[in-house]
Structure 1
Amino acid sequence: MPEVTFIPPGFPAWTDLGTPDVEASERFYRGLFGWCVYELTIPGRTDYLMFTLGDIGGPEVAGMQELADDTQPPSWTCFIRSDDIEATIAVVEAEGGQVLVDPSDVAHLGRFAVCMDSQGAEFALWLPFDRAVGAGVVDEPAARCWVELACEDVEEARRFYGKVFGWDAVERQYIAGAAPYTNWRVGDWSLGGMVQLDDRFPPGFGAHWVPYFWVTDCPAATAKAADLGARVLLGPTEVGPGRFSILIDPTGARLGLFTPAPGRRPSIPPDGPEREDGRGA
């Protein structure tokens, strides 16, 4: 897929890793995906690391920053594009969510806020300035290709995110005998999914969002991640859209790996959500 120049409102725009050990995280993700890293200095803020695809001058795929203190859990944060962050926050709060980090500008890049949904899952909002749309590339090897919410109350999540982002929820039965999987959709375009927390997750897991990154061989990439220090929560599993696994990286952050089936539709429409060509997820 060509580099991203437009991300519609309501679609995933960026992913950001909060880690207690920047060097350990850099080793892991460089080793797993071949990412390069450069440091972005933002006046008034701690330095921010950008992961790029291909080489140091390649498109940005994700970001990373050190956690402020050891009370914060390592995690990936999924940013959703908003045209009006203050207005979106008003809906978040009206529907039972909270604001964790008030809206703030990031230099010339954009405006963001961090929120918590009505079940405790954290997510962020992103309003880009000028050409800083978010991820420079998605839906290709070593880039983000999906985001997923795990929570206990699926119906409550459908209500909350439907109100906040206007998402529709469509059930899919990808694994026989398992609870239905929810595809989040804007119009006819699937942008992410939702799974119910069940016995596949270790005890104590709360509601959370995770990004999935495209790999060309899910079993091989999962094995490589384990060799690099990751813990495998769910080994390579076959579903209709492809093959996936779920990991905890060496510092404790959760993520997914995904090898799409041939012909899978991208998670971000090339020309906006109204475009309907291609196969559905």
Structure 2
Amino acid sequence: MITTDLSPGSPCWLDLGSPDVRAAAAFYGSVLGWEFESMGGEAEDFEGGMFKKDGKTVAGLGRLTEEGARSAWMIYFTVTDADATTEAVRGAGGTVRVEPRDLGDWGRMAQYSDPLGGQFAVWQPGKNAGFELADETGSLSWTELYTSDAGAAREFYGTVFGWQYSDMELPGGGGTYTLITPADLPEERMQGGLMELPKENLALAGGQPYWHPVFNVDDCDAAVAKVTENGGSVQMGPEDAEGVGRLAVCLDPADADFVVLKPAPAS
């Protein structure tokens, strides 16, 4: 489970780059019950702000400015030293997209691509540790990497973050799903998974790997209805996953991907 006890190597933040900030704010407000707090007032050209759920910050939203980039969620992982992590990324064959930099006294961030092209980021906390709500309705509960080479992904992220892995076979011959737990933490702190897919199944990112977030909801079918009512679409589901819950893979109006999940009752 993802918690707000933001241990090294665990997800601590996520933000969305969107070509239309106002439209994205309205969409996620309807689907996930988020309130949007602008950092630029009410001007027509404001650049972004924070999503909140029940008064707690859950994610960020900003204008997509990188030329040729697709709208997508960026997942950040906690580190104790962003500069040392940057060197680890380079040493393991990754690419530094944004060099480590301070965001005031909030903290220090950097963004990378893994050797196959999957994009992710890190956060070295200052005054701000990250999101204030996790594993609750309307907040992040899981992270997932779709990749063309699971073995290479395991090696890279294991080198950079020290993650622990365990494998499970998906029902019906669906392949192997690798579960991710932060270094030195018990399995109940599992935070995500990775799965190997053929490149043709990674068309959303032009054949490259990509991370996406899973958000908890009270009613998966109702959330999916909100997705389609507000200009989004559904790639898969809703469907039941034994021991996991009812889920659907969705796209927002700008084709940023995410998953909504009604968790199965605790056994």
TM-score (norm 1): 0.85
Q: Could you say what secondary structure the match of 1:160 adopts?
A: helix
CA deviations 1:135-184 (Å, max 9, x no partner) are: 10000001111110000100000110110100122111243210111111
Which stretch of structure 1 is more off in the superposition, 14-23 or 239-248? Answer: 239-248
Deviation for aligned residue 1:217: 1.5
Structure-2 separation of matches of 1:174 and 1:237: 14
1:233 and 1:195 map into 2 onto residues whose CA distance is: 17
The answer to whether residue 249 in structure 2 is matched with residue 234 in structure 1 is no
Specify every segment of 5 or more residues in structure 1 that has no aligned partner in the other structure, as ranges. 265-281
Contact 2:143-2:193 at 8 Å conserved across structures: yes
1:32-47 alignment, distance < 5 Å: 32-40=31-39, 47=47
- The whole-number CA distance in structure 2 between the counterparts of 1:202 and 1:215 is 27
**1:206 Cα shift?**
2.0
Shift of 1:185: 1.3
2:246 maps to 243
Counterpart AA for 1:215: V
1:52 aligns with 2:52: yes
Backbone CA RMSD of aligned residues: 2.0
Cα 1:253–1:223, aligned 2, differ >3 Å: closer, same or farther? same
**Correspondence list, 1:42-191, <5 A:** 47-54=47-54, 58-130=55-127, 132-186=128-182, 187-188=185-186, 189-191=189-191
State the one-letter code of the partner of 1:236.
P
- For 1:218 and 1:47, locate their aligned partners in 2 and report how far apart those are by CA, in whole Å: 30
SS of equivalent to 1:176: helix
Are the equivalent residues in 2 in contact too, given 1:200–1:234 (CA < 8 A)? no
Identity value in percent? 35
Unaligned runs of 5+ in 2: 41-45
What CA distance in whole angstroms lies between the structure 2 residues aligned with 1:69 and 1:150? 22
Corresponding position of 1:217: 219
Deviation at 1:201, TM superposition (A): 5.2
Q: 1:87, 1:61 → 2: CA distance?
A: 27
Residue 13 of structure 1 contacts residue 135 of structure 1 at CA under 8 Å; is this kept in 2?
A: yes
Counterpart of 1:73 in 2: which secondary structure?
Answer: coil
Alpha-carbon distance change, 102 to 69 in structure 1, aligned in 2, over 3 angstroms: closer
Report the AA paired with residue 115 of structure 2.
S
**1:38-75 C-alpha deviation (Å, 9 max, x unpaired):** 1236xxxx854100012xxx110000100115522101
| Contact 1:201 1:233 (C-alpha < 8 Å) held by counterparts | no
Q: Give the AA of the match of 2:96.
A: V
Number of residue-to-residue matches in the alignment: 254
Task: Work out whether 1:31 is the aligned partner of 2:33.
Answer: no
- CA contact 1:20–1:70 (8 Å) conserved in 2: no
Is the 8 Å Cα contact of residues 202 and 209 (structure 2) preserved in structure 1?
Answer: no
2:188 is aligned with 1:192:
no
Structure whose residues are more often helix by fraction: 2
Tell me, in whole angstroms, the C-alpha distance in 1 between the residues paired with 2:171 and 2:126. Answer: 41
Per-residue displacement from partner, 1:98-138 (whole Å, max 9, x unpaired)?
A: 100011111221110001001100000001113x1101000
Greater shift in the superposed pair: 112-121 or 239-248: 239-248
Q: CA deviation at 1:263?
A: 2.0
Letter in structure 2 aligned against 1:34: G
Distance 1:210 1:102 in 2: 22
Query: Is 2:53–2:138's contact at 8 Å kept on the other side of the alignment?
Result: yes
- Once the two structures are superposed, residues 222-252 of structure 1 have per-residue CA deviations (whole angstroms, 9 ceiling, x without a partner) of 1221121112111123222222211111012
